[in-house]
């Protein structure tokens, strides 16, 4: 996928995102994948500790509704991981953290996700969300994070065909290793990523799905 973002306005929320993705129909992942980020107005000069995200992920069919995830640091290990999956009419999420390439643990930090809008159909699910305390993680030697003033971040993505087990209980889901593509890329920011309307958009994030 290209490091260059597309500036995209979500018609469902009017939020303007920088998005990076893999087109539907490409060989890397069945159904395509898209991730978007919007940042506070001053985030290109003062490092932000939150963002508004957009995830658009694929479902193979009505049984294999799947899950998808992003690594906010790039690699799977020692990064804040966010996964999402659809179940009935809700999109559920879970923050995770992995020190090795095995089932990630539930993240113990104070990252907080509130939903703005979600959508589910037979082939895709999407979620726009506010992610607070999501740009710094780990402690001591393992401290990592994103400096938004640097103008880019490194992102990892994965998709999986099978739905997680225990889907309505995010801290207790079961899952197999992702099997519908993965990648890691430098996500460059366009200045449109930092928007004066950020606070107004963030105020729309009122829904918690647990
Ligand atoms: C890569 C295992 C869950 C994000 C990998 C790789 C393995 C693995 C073995 C390296 C594959 C290769 O290089 O060929 C697993 C297992 C999981 C799991 C066993 C659960 C049972 C997750 C979750 C996320 C995630 C929940 C994010 C939400 C990534 C990313 C990569 C990756 C971004 C590619 C970047 C990298 O190689 O570090 N995973 N994973 N994984 N995984 Fe996972």
Ligand 1, CB within 6 Å, residue ranges:
69, 71, 75-76, 81, 83, 96, 101-104, 156-158, 175-178, 182, 184
pLDDT of residue 173: 97
Flag residues of the chain having pLDDT under 70: none
- Spatial contact of 154 and 186, defined as CB atoms under 8 Å apart: yes
pLDDT of residue 164: 98
Q: Which residue CA neighbors atom 4 of ligand 1 most closely?
A: 76
pLDDT of residue 26: 87
How many CB atoms are closer than 10 A to CB 83? Answer: 23
pLDDT of residue 70: 98
- 0.80 cut: is pTM over it? yes
pLDDT of residue 141: 87
DSSP-based three-state secondary structure for 16 = strand
pLDDT of residue 178: 98
Calculate how far, in angstroms, residue 130's C-alpha sits from the geometric centre of ligand 1: 24
Kindly report, residue by residue over 96-120, the tens digit of the pLDDT.
Answer: 999 999 999 999 999 999 999 999 9
Pocket test for ligand 1, best of 72, 158, 163 (most atoms within 8 A of CB): 158
pLDDT of residue 92: 98
- ipTM score of complex: 0.98
Q: What percent of the chain has pLDDT over 90?
A: 95
Pocket test for ligand 1, best of 101, 111, 113, 163 (most atoms within 8 A of CB): 101
CA distance 19 to 199: 19
Q: Which residue CA neighbors atom 21 of ligand 1 most closely?
A: 103
């Amino acid at each position: 996928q290209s490091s260059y973002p597309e500036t995209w306005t979500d018609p469902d929320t009017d939020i303007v995102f920088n998005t990076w993705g893999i087109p539907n129909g490409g060989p890397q992942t069945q159904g395509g994948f898209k991730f978007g980020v919007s940042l506070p107005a001053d985030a290109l000069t003062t490092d932000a500790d939150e963002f508004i995200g957009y995830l658009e992920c694929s479902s193979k069919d009505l049984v294999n509704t799947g899950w998808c995830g992003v690594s906010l640091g790039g690699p799977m290990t020692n990064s804040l991981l966010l996964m999402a999956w659809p179940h009935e009419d809700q999109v559920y999420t879970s923050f995770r953290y992995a020190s090795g390439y095995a089932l990630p643990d539930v993240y113990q930090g104070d990252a907080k996700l509130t939903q703005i809008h979600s959508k589910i159909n037979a082939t895709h699910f999407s979620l726009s969300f506010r992610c607070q305390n999501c740009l710094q993680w780990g402690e001591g030697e393992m401290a990592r994070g994103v400096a938004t003033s640097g103008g880019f971040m490194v992102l990892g993505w994965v998709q999986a065909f099978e739905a997680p087990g225990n889907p309505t209980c995010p801290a207790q889901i079961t899952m197999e290793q992702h099997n519908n593509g993965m990648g890691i890329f430098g996500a460059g920011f366009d200045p449109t990523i930092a928007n004066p309307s950020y606070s107004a958009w963030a105020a729309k994030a009122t829904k918690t799905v647990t």
